[in-house]
Amino acid sequence: MTRVLVTNDDGIESPGLHALAVALLEDGMDVVIAAPVTQSSGSSASIMAADAGGRIAVDRRTLEGLESVPAFAVHGGPGLIALIAARGAFGDPTDVVASGINHGANVGRAILHSGTVGAALTGGLNGAWGIAVSLDVGMSPTDFHWDSGARAVTRLIPELLQYPRGTVLNVNAPNTAEPRGVIEAELAPFGIVQTTLTQQDEHDIRLAVEDLPNAPEPGTDAAHLADGWITVTGLDPVSHVPLGISVSALS
């Protein structure tokens, strides 16, 4: 039986995390939940934790509808959770780190900043398969189709397991009950939102998040997602780029 860690960056009370865990449990997976006790969006793969005398504080939880699933609220971000899970913090290390379902899309190279993606990448770096999943709810959602993201994960995990351990997928689902299908897509140059500096004085800086003014680049994850597709992108956890710098002595 495939053992799956379900985590996120929206916090353990997130409905997206609940929907993902339920879908994986119903699909026959051995599920353990460990998620931040509070919102940790934008934490990337940070392994910082709340100070508890040099220890990481963890609270056992029972989640409604998931009473049979071990659940832990961690006073730290999702990257840290994936790291300590690989070390046996929540029982036997898991085969898969499934992170999400995030409240909002994670597309383009801006996924560098995503805690959702950071957890999946950390899982991959530590020998698991990783899959991050996000729901494109837009700026002012009225309905949430979490099942679209959850179904995408249960469909994709069997394919993911055909690849070597360490393989990581980034998945985005449109906020609709009937997506057009699943399509592999490259990362957009940035993302679908931007941050702007709206205030700066002697003591404070304020950022705002807003939609990008231009249409996404055709063929990218942002463009396919906008057209109603579930997008799948394979990610490299950490790699190097050869530069051809010659060895020389310092003088």
**171-224: pLDDT as tens digits:** 999 999 999 999 999 999 875 555 555 555 555 666 555 555 567 889 999 999
Overall average pLDDT of the 226-238 stretch: 94
Mean pLDDT, the chain, rounded, equals: 89
Q: What is the pLDDT of residues 43-52, one digit of tens each?
A: 666 676 666 6
CATH superfamily of 3-188+217-235: Survival protein SurE-like phosphatase/nucleotidase (3.40.1210.10)
What is the C-alpha to C-alpha distance for residues 226 and 35, in angstroms, rounded to an integer? 29
- How many Å apart are CA 83 and CA 74, to the nearest integer? 12
20 has pLDDT over 80: yes
Cα 234-215-207 angle, rounded to 5 deg: 85
pLDDT of residue 243: 87
How confident is the model over 63-97, as pLDDT tens digits? 999 999 999 999 999 999 999 999 999 999 999 99
- In the chain, what percentage of residues exceed pLDDT 70? 84
Q: How many CA atoms lie within 13 A of 188 on its CB side?
A: 25
What does the pLDDT read at residue 138?
Answer: 82
Threshold 0.85, pTM exceeds = yes
pLDDT at 56: 87
Q: Find all residues with CB under 8 Å of 99, minimum gap 6, and list them.
A: 6, 7, 8, 9, 78, 82, 116, 117, 119, 120, 123, 130, 131, 132, 133
Name the band, by pLDDT with cuts 50, 70 and 90, for residue 100: very high
pLDDT tens, position by position, 112-122: 989 999 999 99
Q: List the domain boundaries for the chain.
A: 3-188+217-235
